[in-house]
């Protein structure tokens, strides 16, 4: 039993090394739409009624990347989720505040991927001199089949605090929903505030990030530790098959 727990723990670490987060590309739009569509069609997590076209979604990616990071999480060539920041308000005085957004593929929840993505997003935003993160979240008067309070709880767990609630301001699925704003501070507010650095300029300063990589371990030559993880993963797969035969 002890050996089994150890193998499971080590295998979990290996799986983490197979994940990597990179900058989104326009070619990702089709796969990202497959992640987003169920949220539009089946939930009130987004107040959007219709799934956007591929062309419109490409336009959204392109627009975000003119100033802010748009990140995707990839595992074995599959996209499992995406997160990005956008303008909190277009006025210049708001340059240091952003609105954050995240979506995880339906079948990949409960793996801690949301936290990994938000952590990576925050790291980039800090380099841009962003100080305030804001999240606009739909909440129900009472949880129903289309919306619960999980998103609000998720943000609270990551350090966001509730700053305001608007009542019955969103109508979807014949139901009125509330909306809350949550906020997290990630930078120091100074008398002489350093300028916000647009994301393209940040990429120019870091050649590795300019290639679209944020925390990629998959494409680099495998280290001895990574080879060990790959071997452990294979051993785990065989072990599961053996248990099923038994």
**H-helix or E-strand spanning residue 19:** strand 19-23
pLDDT of 16:
59
Structure tokens at 218: 């998959």
If pLDDT is split at 50, 70 and 90, which confidence band does 160 have?
very high
Averaged confidence pLDDT in the chain:
85
DSSP lists the bridge partners of residue 88 as: none
pLDDT at position 84 is: 98
Mean pLDDT of 103-109: 96
CB within 8 Å of 115: residues ≥ 6 apart: 158
**pLDDT surpasses 90 at 13:** no
User: Using one digit for the tens of pLDDT, what is the confidence trace for 200-218?
Assistant: 999 998 755 555 566 643 4
Is there a contact between 84 and 29 (Cβ–Cβ < 8 Å)? Answer: no
% of the chain beyond a pLDDT of 90:
75
- 3-state SS class at 204: helix
DSSP for residue 44:
S
- Residue pair 177/168 in contact by the 8 Å Cβ criterion: yes
For residues 135 and 133, give the distance between their C-alpha atoms in angstroms, rounded to a whole number. 7
CA distances from 59 to 29, 53, 55, 160, 223 (A): 9, 10, 6, 29, 38
12-16, 134-138, 212-216: which is most confident: 134-138
Residue 36 contacts residue 129 (beta carbons within 8 Å): no
Structural element, H or E, at residue 193: none
Interval 34-63 mean pLDDT: 98
Question: What confidence score (pLDDT) does residue 17 get?
Answer: 62
Average pLDDT over residues 1-26: 64
CA angle 160, 28, 205 (to 5 degrees): 65
Q: Which residue, 97, 89, 74, 96, is CA-closest to 28?
A: 74
């Amino acid at each position: 039993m002890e050996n089994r727990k150890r193998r499971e723990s080590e295998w979990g670490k290996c799986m983490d090394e197979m994940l990597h987060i990179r900058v989104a590309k326009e070619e990702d739009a089709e796969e990202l739409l497959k992640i987003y569509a169920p949220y539009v069609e089946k939930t009130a997590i987004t107040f959007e009624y219709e799934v956007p076209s591929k062309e419109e979604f490409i336009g959204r990616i392109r627009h975000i990347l003119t100033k802010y990071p748009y990140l995707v999480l990839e595992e074995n060539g599959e996209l499992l989720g995406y997160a990005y920041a956008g303008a909190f308000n277009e006025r210049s005085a708001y340059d240091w505040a952003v609105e954050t957004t995240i979506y995880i593929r339906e079948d990949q929840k409960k793996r801690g991927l949301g936290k990994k993505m938000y952590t990576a997003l925050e790291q980039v935003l800090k380099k841009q001199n962003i100080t305030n993160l804001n999240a606009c979240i739909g909440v129900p008067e009472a949880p129903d089949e289309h919306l619960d309070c999980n998103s609000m709880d998720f943000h609270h767990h990551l350090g966001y605090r509730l700053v305001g609630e608007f009542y019955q301001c969103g109508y979807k699925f014949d139901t009125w929903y509330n909306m809350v704003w949550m906020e997290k501070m990630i930078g120091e507010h100074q008398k002489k505030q350093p300028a916000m650095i647009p994301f393209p300029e940040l990429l120019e300063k870091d050649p590795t990030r300019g290639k679209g990589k944020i925390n990629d371990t998959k494409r680099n030559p495998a280290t001895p530790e990574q080879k060990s993880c790959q071997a452990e993963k294979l051993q785990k797969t065989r072990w599961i098959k053996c248990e099923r035969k038994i």
